[in-house]
Structure 1
């Protein structure tokens, strides 16, 4: 029995040992699995972190700086606009921040800021434990560095990806910047409710004090406000604001930044003692534009700014938030006048009618004023003053008569035979009234805007001065053409599309003795560090002084009887002008049942020794029956009324006239000639060198009842934008061979 019992015990012992070994192996396996799982998870975590870091926003140093909105100054150096979008900002250097304010911020937000790296692991682990019980995001441990990163590059979204990116970028930030630099960025970037950014702006907004003048209670409040700015806003929640102030004071004492006595005294100090009392209207943070009359000009400034080599490849928003000061050529009174007249003048049929206008200084080409349209809003609206539009007859001085005077010394009484109809390469052109006016002087042909004489002047110049002579003349005043010019372009065809800003500059060259300056708005830009960026503009001798003077005197006749802008002269002001009217294609007249005298685009380009002003008007779309058309002579005068109104307000009554050079003989506008060049006055009847096959018409009329008081040609271009070669009868009854390649019609 004893032996048997011993054998049984041995077997039991062996069994237990085997079980123990199995348990140990199992434990080892579990531990091994845990270790492997931990390693795998660690690797996954590292890879995931690397992926999130790789997907993190670029480390852009410009975004770290607190936005300093650009300031716009007028021609006299007076501030007219700050591009702050209603925000309240002010920059402060860390060295100018009082110790109490620094201590209050550090005690509240990151007491170990100068001791830890990008992350505070002690706070981090504590936050992690609380997040397990309270849910992800219930407890934060962000350092000042992390807050700067979040506000500069990231969003407030609580996610693992965002936290990983925040950690990575925080590490990058601490490699690139010192602790003091990061602290300064924080103090200038932090939000203080009511659209206030930065501690300096907050001190001014809430207490109307500089930082150095804040008492301890006020410093504590501002240090605690950014954590939940709207909840602790003293205007909306005074009790919560006082409580937040007391909490910050407690933390300052806890971290040995102030004494108990200082804490208790500051806790007794009410925030209401020095609080600036503000109404709801005062506090409103609105993107509403406070000076909308400047928006068109600012739109032009932005474009010119970004075309400067200094800013060519930079982001506009960053440039405009870099603290630059932009000194411009704006005359704020002229700018306000122009925009006010465009907003409120009675020159419109409906809301679809659009307008664009630019005013430049005739002598130096500086942009004085510009309007992109009625109630123009920058960014929202297209700037109709810089958009190209069909010019109608506006370009006759630069494509027909100017080149003839410049190259062949035509006198203003040079005789040209007008005709009822005129063919160029099989294309028939007529005047608007479909009549011949017989032999006419250059003076009358231009100021009354006859079509046939303009075509003959263009042809004669090409024959005598070279095929590209008219094109080269136009290019010298900033009107560039890619292809060769055909007859339709002379009368405002599809390739003759330019902006009011371009035309204002071109006509300024006539007023300025032939010297051309392209429109420019910026004088200089001063950077935040004081560096000055100068802005140049192109300038060149575009034509002889004799050509400029003879064109100027001829175009003064536009306001005289039978001239195309008769009745719109400004008393006491010597002014010339050229009108232009764009018609539709024959198919459009038929499709929309338009009246014969319906026009799409209407212009006037007026100039004085002081200002050159161009006005375009048109419609956003075509509608039936002429609703969206300038029907009849009175509606086609709308730009002329606007020019008259504005010039009557802004033009100086100093008696100044266009300077007559020694190179010009004669005393009357219709009897001027180039000195030393006698015009043989041979009537131009049918010059050689006939051009393009594209048909085009012109349309100019004055307020006179005479049959010669208006002259337009008929248009043959449609609105389809497709080529449609067909023989049709246009609205003037003219049979033409159409080559319709533009959506815009041509006209005066």
Structure 2
């Protein structure tokens, strides 16, 4: 019989052995992970950028290349820097910086492991990113050699380079690098430069509150900028003062005095123009560079990186810019003598334009306005304006072809006046006339308002209320975000009023889809960049099928009529180019007309968007203010066509005249010899409407004298007598969010 005691001893020994084995396995695993970590760290460290003394001292400008990979300009960040030696830096300033950035800077090595441990715990309890642990050494390294990308590789490289930096430089030297390299908004680098810029003081003359402000500003420079938000800047300064008190760098009395100091007392007064960092280098490229910066900021690759830091890291930016076209466009915009009359030579008038590659969507050139300067001027090419009748193809005619498969000789009953559904007032055509039964080709070519609105209503009835809105969205014109997402599309949007506000760049993107067979391509400025580590980072842009190729081609064929006799842009001769497009104007509300004593045919915006198989170009023109008696308005047809002359000038200069035409797809067929229809169309005749099969010849159009007015009145009163103008006409649109009292429509 076995001894039970012996059996218990054996069991205890077995358990002890098992625990030893488990412990050994864990130890071996830990050692393996540790060794693997060292190997991975060593590998990442070996791929770190070269340790460069030049990069430690000053920001490196970025270079911009055009579509042919030719260097066109260099981006220098900021104004001339005022260097400060650490021995000349007052203790008040260094105390403030150390309190907010790295209080134990002189006590730890390249990495503050104590602070790192606290940050880890804080991030676990408070959520990832609730507290950072970067030392001043790490911040210098990151700004000099790395990006803001938060990956294990970057952290390993940062640790390695920080160790290298502390091996080769003293702590004072590293703090000096930080103080001279940090960014302070408005193109300002370095604490001494910032002190002179904001307070016109040398560092020795700063009071406690000002020193605290400058120490805290680099955390979010464009947010805490006193010229942008004085309240936010003051709050940030107080946070720094609290940290200085917490770390024993100031007394409580000093803290109270600092908190109660008015930070703006010594702030240098600066206008927006005076805040411009410097006179821009190569100003003809400024609008394009502005878009480049925005696209880099919005990209997934760089969205977490401060754009100023990125552009100070010496990257090479390869763009889609055609430098010759960019110069031609901006120089013509700037040339006041190109425009006739004092009204259009004045500072009240402005113009913005975008040119993109019709097939690919590449941004070829862009102008944000006359004498555009980044920082101090709004880029009007990416600013939204009411679009006028340029919306008619997008909200009315194209959705009808896309969804109802109507042919180009589909007819609509035009009238002298019409009351849109759910609207008690009346709308009129630009010439205050009805034209009987008209084909959609003629209605679009001559930009009649009533047929466009009627077709819009029919599309919604036949195909669904949201069809026009979705069609526009597929072209990058999103109404769903208007009015905080509570906007309802109306007939007024068809005429380019209400919330039909989009930028010249957006309109060029939308129209290019008609010219390339139906594909929407986001207008890309940047092809790729080569970063400071000589890595290529490609940019990606949205591209999708926005419509059938039959819709794109049929709309294009109809829009060619815009430049033909009696079309709304028949003033400008474009012989030799296969070109399609649409004009548009927007007018004033009745209240504005009365308040400023404006002529009834006054317009506030004038547009043209046109395209060849090669280029798509949009042009917006308008005024910066409204003055009495039409002094800053487009009055009459001769002024409404101002953007058309500009369009003609640029498009005829940049086009190759290679004879290229839009290719008719197999999905489209000729109807009656001169009209177009969709192959195997499902379109059916509805006897309850004044419509006909597409294969019938249209009735003779009612002869109308083509002496058109420039104004359409939308109210219940009788329109004024037409004002005679040359044989041409275009619309305008209403521009009022209240559809029960819309503005009047003007014409071209």
TM over 0.5: yes
Is 1:374–2:378 an aligned residue pair?
A: no
Would the alpha carbon gap of residues 710 and 85 (structure 1) be closer, same or farther in structure 2, given more than 3 Å must change?
A: same
Q: Report the equivalent of 2:72.
A: 80
> How far does residue 314 in structure 1 lie from its aligned partner after superposition?
2.3
> How far does residue 707 in structure 1 lie from its aligned partner after superposition?
2.6
> How far does residue 66 in structure 1 lie from its aligned partner after superposition?
3.3
SS at match of 1:553: helix
Q: Is the 8 A contact 2:498 2:737 kept in 1?
A: no
Q: Report the equivalent of 2:532.
A: 528
1:462 corresponds, among 460, 463, 469, to 460
Would the alpha carbon gap of residues 680 and 538 (structure 1) be closer, same or farther in structure 2, given more than 3 Å must change?
A: same
Distance of 2:93 and 2:681 partners within structure 1: 82
Distance of 1:470 and 1:614 partners within structure 2: 22
Would the alpha carbon gap of residues 312 and 449 (structure 1) be closer, same or farther in structure 2, given more than 3 Å must change?
A: same
Distance of 1:563 and 1:670 partners within structure 2: 17
1:316 corresponds, among 307, 321, 343, to 307
Is 1:407–2:384 an aligned residue pair?
A: no
> How far does residue 394 in structure 1 lie from its aligned partner after superposition?
0.6
> How far does residue 320 in structure 1 lie from its aligned partner after superposition?
1.1
Would the alpha carbon gap of residues 534 and 731 (structure 1) be closer, same or farther in structure 2, given more than 3 Å must change?
A: farther
Q: Report the equivalent of 1:431.
A: 429
Q: Report the equivalent of 1:509.
A: 513
Q: With the length of structure 1 as denominator, give the TM-score of the two structures.
A: 0.62
> How far does residue 669 in structure 1 lie from its aligned partner after superposition?
9.3
Task: Write the mapping of 1:538-687 to structure 2, written as runs, cut at 5 A.
Answer: 538-666=542-670, 671-677=675-681
SS at match of 1:658: coil
Q: Is the 8 A contact 2:77 2:312 kept in 1?
A: no
Which is worse superposed, 313-322 or 487-496?
A: 313-322
Q: Report the equivalent of 2:169.
A: 182
Task: Write the mapping of 1:89-168 to structure 2, written as runs, cut at 5 A.
Answer: 158-162=90-94, 165=97
Unaligned runs of 5+ in 1: 1-61, 90-146, 192-196, 199-285, 688-703, 717-726
Distance of 1:346 and 1:738 partners within structure 2: 30
Measured against aligned partners, the alpha-carbon deviations of 1:611-646 in whole angstroms (never above 9, x if no partner) come to 110001111111000000001111111110011000
Q: Is the 8 A contact 1:415 1:684 kept in 2?
A: no
Q: Report the equivalent of 1:292.
A: 283
Q: Is the 8 A contact 1:394 1:579 kept in 2?
A: yes
2:61 corresponds, among 64, 69, 73, to 69
Is 1:346–2:345 an aligned residue pair?
A: no
> How far does residue 433 in structure 1 lie from its aligned partner after superposition?
1.5
SS at match of 2:471: helix
Would the alpha carbon gap of residues 397 and 634 (structure 1) be closer, same or farther in structure 2, given more than 3 Å must change?
A: same
> How far does residue 299 in structure 1 lie from its aligned partner after superposition?
0.4
Would the alpha carbon gap of residues 738 and 507 (structure 1) be closer, same or farther in structure 2, given more than 3 Å must change?
A: closer
Q: Is the 8 A contact 1:362 1:609 kept in 2?
A: yes
Distance of 2:104 and 2:66 partners within structure 1: 45
Is 1:328–2:322 an aligned residue pair?
A: no
SS at match of 1:656: coil
Distance of 1:355 and 1:560 partners within structure 2: 25
Q: Report the equivalent of 1:422.
A: 418
Distance of 2:610 and 2:414 partners within structure 1: 26
SS at match of 2:380: coil
SS at match of 1:429: coil
1:494 corresponds, among 491, 498, 511, to 498
Q: Report the equivalent of 1:714.
A: 713
Distance of 2:609 and 2:288 partners within structure 1: 19
> How far does residue 438 in structure 1 lie from its aligned partner after superposition?
1.0
Structure 1 outlier segments of 4+, above 4 Å: 62-65, 85-89, 154-157, 163-176, 183-191, 667-670, 678-687, 708-712, 727-733, 736-739, 741-748
Distance of 2:177 and 2:588 partners within structure 1: 58
Would the alpha carbon gap of residues 565 and 315 (structure 1) be closer, same or farther in structure 2, given more than 3 Å must change?
A: same
Measured against aligned partners, the alpha-carbon deviations of 1:436-483 in whole angstroms (never above 9, x if no partner) come to 011111111001110110011111111111111111111111111123
Q: Is the 8 A contact 1:299 1:379 kept in 2?
A: no
Unaligned runs of 5+ in 2: 1-53, 112-161, 181-188, 191-276, 481-486, 692-702, 723-733
Distance of 2:707 and 2:559 partners within structure 1: 17
Q: Is the 8 A contact 1:554 1:669 kept in 2?
A: no
SS at match of 1:672: strand
Distance of 2:735 and 2:168 partners within structure 1: 74
Larger of the two Rg values belongs to structure: 1
Would the alpha carbon gap of residues 654 and 181 (structure 1) be closer, same or farther in structure 2, given more than 3 Å must change?
A: farther
Distance of 2:78 and 2:737 partners within structure 1: 53
SS at match of 1:489: helix
> How far does residue 79 in structure 1 lie from its aligned partner after superposition?
1.3
SS at match of 1:423: coil
Q: Is the 8 A contact 2:497 2:735 kept in 1?
A: no
Q: Report the equivalent of 2:26.
A: none
> How far does residue 530 in structure 1 lie from its aligned partner after superposition?
1.6
> How far does residue 162 in structure 1 lie from its aligned partner after superposition?
3.0
Measured against aligned partners, the alpha-carbon deviations of 1:121-157 in whole angstroms (never above 9, x if no partner) come to xxxxxxxxxxxxxxxxxxxxxxxxxx99x67xx9965
Measured against aligned partners, the alpha-carbon deviations of 1:86-129 in whole angstroms (never above 9, x if no partner) come to 8899xxxxxxxxxxxxxxxxxxxxxxxxxxxxxxxxxxxxxxxx
> How far does residue 569 in structure 1 lie from its aligned partner after superposition?
3.1
> How far does residue 287 in structure 1 lie from its aligned partner after superposition?
3.4
Q: What's the Cα RMSD here?
A: 3.7
Q: Report the equivalent of 2:389.
A: 393
> How far does residue 680 in structure 1 lie from its aligned partner after superposition?
5.9
Would the alpha carbon gap of residues 408 and 161 (structure 1) be closer, same or farther in structure 2, given more than 3 Å must change?
A: closer
Would the alpha carbon gap of residues 448 and 682 (structure 1) be closer, same or farther in structure 2, given more than 3 Å must change?
A: farther
Q: Is the 8 A contact 2:589 2:744 kept in 1?
A: yes
> How far does residue 82 in structure 1 lie from its aligned partner after superposition?
1.1
SS at match of 2:431: coil
Distance of 1:491 and 1:455 partners within structure 2: 8
Distance of 1:714 and 1:77 partners within structure 2: 52
SS at match of 1:436: coil
Q: Is the 8 A contact 1:488 1:746 kept in 2?
A: no
Q: Is the 8 A contact 1:517 1:537 kept in 2?
A: yes
> How far does residue 181 in structure 1 lie from its aligned partner after superposition?
4.7
How many residues are paired up? 509
> How far does residue 677 in structure 1 lie from its aligned partner after superposition?
2.1
Q: Report the equivalent of 2:212.
A: none
